[in-house]
Chains A and B, each alone.
Chain A
Amino acid sequence: MKVSAIRQALLLIALAFVPAIGEAIYFRDRVSWRSPDRSSEMVNLDQAQSWGANAIWVDARPDNEFEQGHVPGAIPLNEDRWNELLPTLLAQWSLEKKIVVYCSSQSCNASREVARRLRDEAGLKEVFVLQGGWETWLKSKR
């Protein structure tokens, strides 16, 4: 078969598109296509606690859950009362602080949404989501 190397190359390039597109479709909802993924926003409990006084803990859960128990010193900030609660956090924030947002694994995506809004709307940079959420913190207190 006297197909030139270039033509072969082009065919291979085209061939590789098939599985690539298949995979992209499979992952389409799991990948951020336009801007870098925020998977580096997660932080585990030990790391968050090592930040000590430089960490501001933010509870993204509904009001009643916050009242039943929360990380000492945590500021409530949930989407139900976003506009009311946000100023309190903004008043306490400063550049060297790291924000750690947590919610319960039963709540919907709340902590990631709150973290995203803090980054996108308030322009805050060091915003993290606690891996394992409220449950992990509770377990560590046993």
Chain B
Amino acid sequence: MNTNLLIGIVALTALAQEARSELKWEQTSVDLKPALGDKQAVAHFKYENVGNTPIHFESVHASCGCTTAQTQNEQVAPGQKGEITATFNIGGRTGTQVKTVTVRTDDPNPAHSTTVLTLKAVITPLLEIQPTLVYWQNGEEPKPKIITAKANKDAAIKKLDVVSSVPDFTAKVDAGSAPNEFKISVQPRDTTKAVYATLTIKPDSPANTGNTFAVAARVMPPAPTSGTAITPSTKATVSTVRHDLVTPAPTAASPRQ
């Protein structure tokens, strides 16, 4: 091996070391399982500057208003570690929620300057209620309608208390067909006049910190006749509009053929 080759190799290695900045992420996707009753889910995205020039965060931006993200330090020196904390405010959300945080740095390499961090949270509510609205048409037979409430099995809910905001509706709770399931039977006293009621459902559970759930029960007003009626012209517009809905939608949906 002659000296020239050796010099060449050293030079190349030196060049390779030149202005290399890189933010290395421990994980760019985090799965969270918030506990019952948690109002927030927090994900930590750890990074380290494995390059030899400092990195500056230009923007850290969440995909929606429900998630806020903050970085520990605006500037990351070579070798320095830190993390971006993404806080997802759960609110009334349920099921699998995916939120992203887009991070832009001043890394000269365009492949590394933008990173998308993903936060996935699986939220199981204390009670899953279906449907959240029961209604009777004016004059319909006032038969009871059933609302099914599935309790989170970790919550150890033994019973539900259901109270109606107005006396025109009665609610009865029975055990459902599956464990942790309840059937709420709602019945109007009569269906001749329009009524709106909020049924407040209170689960008894050690995990429950005063959380209540609400469903709506209604007797609908009589079908409009005149005034706000569906006049024949409105009906025509409605039916043509529906037709229009069918045709433009597909052309919008299908790619240009």
Contact = CB atoms under 8 A, between A and B. Distances in A.
Q: Do chains A and B touch in the complex (CB under 8 A)?
A: yes
Interface of A: 39-40, 42-44, 47, 50-54, 61-62, 64-65, 78-84, 86-87, 90-91, 93-96, 107-108, 110, 120-124
Nearest to A92: B196
A29 B207 CA distance: 36
22 contacts: A42-B252, A47-B245, A54-B238, A78-B91, A79-B66, A83-B213, A83-B214, A86-B132, A86-B216, A87-B214, A91-B196, A95-B137, A108-B63, A108-B64, A108-B66, A108-B99, A120-B130, A121-B129, A121-B130, A122-B132, A122-B133, A122-B216
B133 A90 contact: yes
Contacts of A53: 228
B133 A40 contact: no
Nearest to B213: A83
A33 B93 CA distance: 24
Q: Kindly state the interface size class of chain B when it binds its partner.
A: 35 or more
B91 A82 contact: yes
A110 B241 contact: no
Contacts of A93: 133
Contacts, number: 86
Contacts of A44: 248
Given A87-B216, A122-B133, 18 more contacts: A40-B249, A42-B252, A51-B238, A54-B234, A79-B66, A83-B213, A83-B214, A86-B132, A87-B198, A87-B214, A94-B221, A95-B137, A96-B223, A96-B224, A107-B65, A123-B131, A123-B133, A124-B133
B133 A81 contact: no
Count chain A CB atoms within 10 A of each CB in B130, B132, B213 and give the residue with the most: B132
A90 B245 contact: no
